[in-house]
Amino acid sequence: MTVVEADKDVRGRPDAQPGATAPLLQVEDLHTQFHTSRGIVRAVEGVSFSVDRGEVVAIVGESGSGKSVTALSIMRLLPRLTGKIPQGRVTFDGRNLLDLDDEQMREIRGRDISMIFQEPMTSLNPILTIGLQIKEPLQIHLGMSDDEAQARAIELLNLVGITDPERRLDQYPHQFSGGMRQRVMIAIGLACNPKLIIADEPTTALDVTIQAQILELMKNLSRKLNIALIIITHNLGVVARYADRVIVMYAARVAEQGPAEQLFHKPRHPYTMGLLRSVPRLDHPRGSKLETIEGLPPNLANVSTACRFAPRCPFRIPVCEQEPPLYPTDTGSLSRCHRHAEIAEGKITWSSLGGVGLNFAANTEAPVLSVRHLTKHFSVSGGLRGASGTVRAVEDVSFDIYPGETLGLVGESGCGKTTVGRLILRLEEPSAGEIHFEGVNLSTGSAAELKAMRRKVQVIFQDPYSSLNPRMTVGQIIGEPLHVYKIVSGRKQNEERVADLLENVGLRPEMAERYPHQLSGGQRQRVGIARALAMEPSFIVCDEAVSALDVSIQGQIINLLEELQRKFRLAYLFIAHDLAVVRHISARVVVMYFGRVMEIADRDVIYGGSLHPYTKVLLDAAPVPDPTIEKQREPRLIKGELPSHLAPPTGCVFNTRCPLASQECREVIPPLEEKRPGHFAACIKV
């Protein structure tokens, strides 16, 4: 029995969904390939699933797993020249979409199936009004007159919660915030009352409080209007709250699919199990070390006939040389694992890494870095752009970081957290305030002291793709600062040191010969870390250092950072928006909002007994990967968006969104007070 036949057998099985009516969408044995100059990349292979009317199905997987390509294949929006669908059926409402001609397919797009994309910033046409972009499908598909379309567009904007719709229809995308643009995208998606909406990472680019609002909106609308929803995401928390069924993809194939509750609580594929364990979680006690799935996903241009997950699977046995079909499991799911039955019997579990948690002893030493009343104002000049004013990016921020400690800095985009990092690195001049590094005041220090400081303070950037010079080899990238600062003498020593550093970050010394484009995202981030380590720093600013990485890779990098911290007694300022990641890595946490510090406390206090309403709202907004918890949860508290930096709120900056705000909050700027020992909060209500 070949693998393909096995797939067909499984598909022949009646669907686990109740009701005898045909599903709305049925994807059968879909294959999608990209014909590139380097050969054929099989991006999707033999994927089958179905979606019922009104159902919410999630497709989960890491980048390159084929989840977005599956969606684009259904929509037939693959790149014309390179994308091919050699095999498969996509039956939608009784018609095979792959047999339709271009014009028939165009009629379905936006009419019966609409799609919402990941990047609200780039997915709307910058030079056309929002109104035109919403009215376009109405006029094309439903033949509405301009007045009818206008009325419907206003109705749609109301539906997605955009106030003052008449005026906003005449505005352009750049006049909307990211969250608002995504609402506009949803309005466009809903315009013609489609039967199915495919949302490709709809909230990935958004802040956690906005993400919660958008997902809530989509879920409610889909229930209310009985629209089926396919959510493509890498965020397991998002899936847990909203999905009825989950499809886990790995290396172009479905690894496991089944009802959400079952899949989260009783995963039957080692990859799903690993994925669930490698996410830092807010709802679990913090372990000493993150569990990870070692290794990398296979290259889809060249795959073997073995199980695709086998090279990374801790439960690999000889039979795994043969790729398994999708087996039905005891939980009503499908799993592409030979040993699913053993998993069900509990014979196979990921070994716990155990070990004791890092003990953060009370800090008796002098802080490595102290920041006092740090303030940065950017003036927005009148000049060409008209509007003039001052953006208070950072206002009166103070904190200490001790040797060997990680201080987490969390907040939404625009809260000033990255600017704080840049000020510490002296990439920006502070408008006021002091930064002391190892006892030296950086604003008054001599040139020599500053130079020494630049060596001891290093940075790891967010984007491992653009922060490495593509024309330099890894060896040159890491070796350059060694040479500049004369840390080693001579070429031989330089090479040895580079090899040593590569080993420290878990890369083979041969990697020194490679160029950045030959490395994966995780490997590049390791190179970035090695470059920072080359200077023998005592303090590293990690600016969203893991947020661009896939879940399983993210865990590897976090573990590496922690290991290096222990080894070299490094202090980190860990800037991130992911609350769970910050919780995992930090000893203490600073919560910022709109340029100001809202709360500072030990990690367990922040996550266990936070005082400030903003921290509470932030934690409440973050979904956790557990459907039972998520589905019982009350709708989220947070409303509204970040205020404009050009018209900041009076009094407490959070008062416009705060559930506790009163008149007093609009008048008094709350000071950052020590409410309990070591626990600071800036709120007059607590």
Q: Do strands 389-401 and 369-380 pair parallel, antiparallel, or not at all (unpaired)?
A: antiparallel
- The least distance separating other proteins from the CB of residue 392, rounded to whole angstroms, comes to 20
Binder to other proteins among 106, 289, 456, 483 (CB under 8 A)?
106
Closest Cα to residue 578, out of 605, 543, 533?
A: 543
Binding segment (CB under 8 A) for other proteins, from list 105-113, 248-256, 370-378, 547-555: 105-113
- Interface stretch with other proteins, choices 99-107, 304-312, 329-337, 536-544 (CB under 8 A): 99-107
Contact pattern from residue 22 through residue 61 relative to other proteins, giving x for each residue in contact according to CB under 8 A and a dash for the rest: ----------------------------------------
Tokens representing 592? 């910022």
Joined tokens for residue 244 = 């009825």
Compute φ and ψ for 346, nearest 5 degrees.
80, 15
Helix axes 146-159, 130-141, angle to 10 degrees: 120
Q: Which is nearer to other proteins, 109 or 454 (CB)?
A: 109
Q: For residue 125, how many other CB atoms are within 10 A of its CB?
A: 13
**Cβ at position 175, least distance to other proteins in Å:** 8
> H or E stretch including 241?
helix 236-242
- Sign of CA pseudo-dihedral 654, 657, 660, 662: positive
Kind and range of the H or E element at 106?
Answer: helix 102-108
- Choices 32-40, 111-119, 508-516, 530-538; region in contact with other proteins by CB under 8 A: 111-119
Rounded to 10 degrees, the C-alpha dihedral 243/248/254/260 comes to: -40
Question: What is residue 33's three-state secondary structure?
Answer: strand
Decide: is 144 part of the binding site for other proteins (CB under 8 A): no
The Cα–Cα gap between 515 and 216 comes to: 43
Nearer to other proteins, 175 or 628 (CB): 175
Confirm or reject binding of residue 448 to other proteins (CB under 8 A). no
Query: Minimum distance from CB of 32 to other proteins (Å)?
Result: 16
| Nearest distance from C-beta of residue 111 to other proteins, angstroms | 6
| DSSP classification of residue 364 | -
Q: How far is the CB of 115 from other proteins (least distance, A)?
A: 4
Which neighbouring-strand residues pair with 593?
Answer: 596
Nearer to other proteins, 99 or 107 (CB): 107
Phi, psi of 539 (to 5 degrees): -145, 130
Q: Is 122 in the site for other proteins (CB under 8 A)?
A: yes
Angle, alpha carbons 587-588-590 (nearest 5°): 145
Q: Specify the residue, 160 or 501, whose C-beta has the smaller distance to other proteins.
A: 160
129 vs 288, beta carbon nearer other proteins:
129
- Angle at CA 454, nearest 5°, toward 449 and 509? 135
Q: Looking at beta carbons only, is 27 or 108 nearer to other proteins? A: 108
| Shortest Å distance, C-beta 171 to other proteins | 9
Residue with smaller CB distance to other proteins, 183 or 266? 183
Q: Which of 187, 450, 427 is nearest to 176 (CA)?
A: 187
**Span from 104-112, 451-459, 538-546, 635-643 in contact with other proteins (CB under 8 A):** 104-112
Alpha-carbon distance of 150 to 166, in angstroms, equals: 9
Contacting other proteins within 499-518 (CB under 8 A): none
Instruction: Give least dist CB 605 to other proteins, A.
Output: 42
Q: Which position among 8, 53, 89, 111 is part of the footprint of other proteins (CB under 8 A)?
A: 111
122 or 466: whose CB is closer to other proteins? 122
Q: Which pair of structure tokens corresponds to residue 272?
A: 């799903």
- Amino acid at position 1, single letter: M
Shorter beta-carbon distance to other proteins: residue 181 or 422: 181
The CB-of-496 to other proteins minimum distance in angstroms stands at 44
Nearer to other proteins, 378 or 568 (CB): 378
**Whole-number Å distance between alpha carbons of 200 and 181:** 15
CA distance 152 to 147: 9
Judged by beta carbon, residue 140 or residue 452, the one nearer other proteins is: 140
- Residue 356 sits in the site that holds other proteins (CB under 8 A): no
Within 155-194, the residues that bind other proteins by CB under 8 A are 172, 174, 185, 188
| SS3 assignment, position 510 | helix
* By the rule CB under 8 A, 354 interacts with other proteins: no
Q: How far is CA 156 from the centre of its chain?
A: 28
Give every CB contact of residue 24 below 8 A, 6+ residues apart in sequence. Answer: 50, 51, 52, 53, 55, 92, 93, 195, 196, 228
β-pairing, 196-200 with 228-233?
parallel
Find out whether 264 and 240 touch, Cβ atoms under 8 Å.
yes
- Do the beta carbons of residue 575 and residue 473 sit within 8 Å? no
Tokens 């999707």 map to which residue? Answer: 44
In the complex with other proteins, the residue whose CB is nearer, 95 or 666, is 95
Phi, psi of 75, rounded to the nearest 5 degrees: -80, -10
- Only segment of 45-53, 120-128, 288-296, 658-666 that touches other proteins (CB under 8 A): 120-128
CB of 140 to other proteins, least distance (A): 6
Interacting span for other proteins (CB under 8 A) from 118-126, 220-228, 268-276, 621-629: 118-126
Q: Which of 46, 88, 137, 325 binds other proteins (CB under 8 A)?
A: 137
d(CA 634, CA 241): 11
Using CB under 8 A as the binding rule, whether residue 149 contacts other proteins is answered as no
Using the rule CB under 8 A, give the single segment among 116-124, 415-423, 450-458, 540-548 that binds other proteins. 116-124
What is the closest distance, in whole angstroms, from the C-beta atom of residue 660 to other proteins in the complex?
35
Residue selected from 125, 381, 441, 466 as contacting other proteins according to rule CB under 8 A:
125
DSSP helix, strand, coil percent of the chain (3-state; round to 5): 35, 20, 45
Structure tokens at 338: 């030979």
Q: Does 127 bind other proteins (CB under 8 A)?
A: yes
For other proteins, the closer CB: 37 or 305:
37
CB 72 to other proteins: min, Å: 8
Quick count: other Cβ atoms within 10 Å of Cβ 470? 9
Where does this chain touch other proteins (CB under 8 A) — which range of 16-24, 115-123, 231-239, 525-533?
A: 115-123
Residue from 20, 81, 447, 448 in contact with other proteins (CB under 8 A): 81
Please identify which residue in 56, 57, 69, 124 interacts with other proteins, judged by CB under 8 A: 124
Interface with other proteins: number of residues (CB under 8 A): 34
Residues 367-396 that bind other proteins (CB under 8 A): 384-387
Residue 128 C-beta: closest distance to other proteins, Å = 7
| Residue 662, helix vs strand vs coil | coil
Please check whether residue 409 is in contact with residue 575, taking contact to mean a CB–CB distance below 8 angstroms. yes
Quote the tokens at residue 138: 């109405």
State the nearest-atom distance from the C-beta of 425 to other proteins, in Å. Answer: 30
Q: Measured over all CA atoms, what is the biggest interatomic distance in the chain, rounded to whole angstroms?
A: 79
Of the ranges 58-66, 84-92, 123-131, 395-403, which one interacts with other proteins (CB under 8 A)? 123-131
Rounded CA-CA distance 477/473 in Å is 6
Binding site for other proteins (CB under 8 A): 75, 77, 81, 102, 106-111, 114-115, 117, 119, 122-129, 136-137, 140-141, 172, 174, 185, 188, 384-387
